Amino acid sequence: MGRQTATDWNLETDSAGPVALDPGQLPVRFETHLACEGARAGRATRCRVLLSAHEVHIQSLGGPQTAALVAPTSAYAGVMVQIEPGLQPGTVMARLILKHHDAALSLVLVETDQPEGLAQSWPAWARALDLPMLVCDQGGTTKPIEAYRAEPKAVPAPRRKLALLTGRRPRFLVRRRVGNPDGMVIHRDEAELTARS
């Protein structure tokens, strides 16, 4: 259960953990960290964010001075999913990131050890912010989700082109001959040979 303070920032009143952000309720205010180097080591800069469909307001909380920045949402490259090995063996850490070309402005929207939970929130955030869905591979390369779809390189060649044009049967069927029932050998009253062991 969350409550809002006089400055309208959401604060947690129970120990159930952070409230999941809802992309359908923009603008949304939350505290997060920047998705730059050092985020896994716990050295990431904490910040307050006001995210709307058109603007992103970032106010850093680290250091003696607080800095504020306003950037248009269109300046961001997209909503990126990043899956990395977790701190414990056999676990993974999945992050949903509002990706900016400048890594210092990329924001973590969701961080979880349950990657299947991002299946619904990832496209919802992309639709709400009108940004493409991006994937970050193990090497750190970012590609749009469309790059992973199986698409044919070219239109396949039409099959049986002649049959489509002429309406005739295929040639190999024309060459077949019908069997002659008079020439067939029929063995009556004979015992069947079977192999028995």
Confidence of residue 1 (pLDDT cuts 50, 70, 90): very low
* 29/147: higher pLDDT: 29
Confidence band, pLDDT 50/70/90 cuts, at residue 86 = confident
Q: Quick check: 59 and 48 in contact, CB under 8 A?
A: yes
CATH of 2-148 given 2.30.29, 2.40.50, 1.10.287, 2.60.40: 2.30.29
Q: What is the CA radius of gyration of the chain?
A: 32
The pTM of the full predicted model, rounded to 2 decimals, is 0.62
Rounded to whole angstroms, how far apart are CA atoms 59 and 4? 18
Scan for tokens 């929207």, then name that residue. Answer: 109
Q: Residue 180's pLDDT is what? A: 75
Residue bearing the bigger pLDDT, 144 or 187 = 144
Pick from 73, 57, 54: nearest CA to 8: 57
Residue whose structure tokens are 């106010």: 59
pLDDT-based confidence at 16, cuts 50/70/90? Answer: very low
Question: Judging by DSSP bridges, how do beta strands 76-85 and 133-136 pair with one another?
Answer: parallel
pLDDT at 113: 85
Q: What is the DSSP string of 69-91?
A: EEEEGGGEEEEEEEEEE-SSTT-
**pLDDT of 88-135, one tens digit each?**
888 888 889 999 988 888 888 988 888 888 888 888 999 999 999 998
> Residue 6 pLDDT more than 50?
no
What is the structure's pLDDT at 170? 63
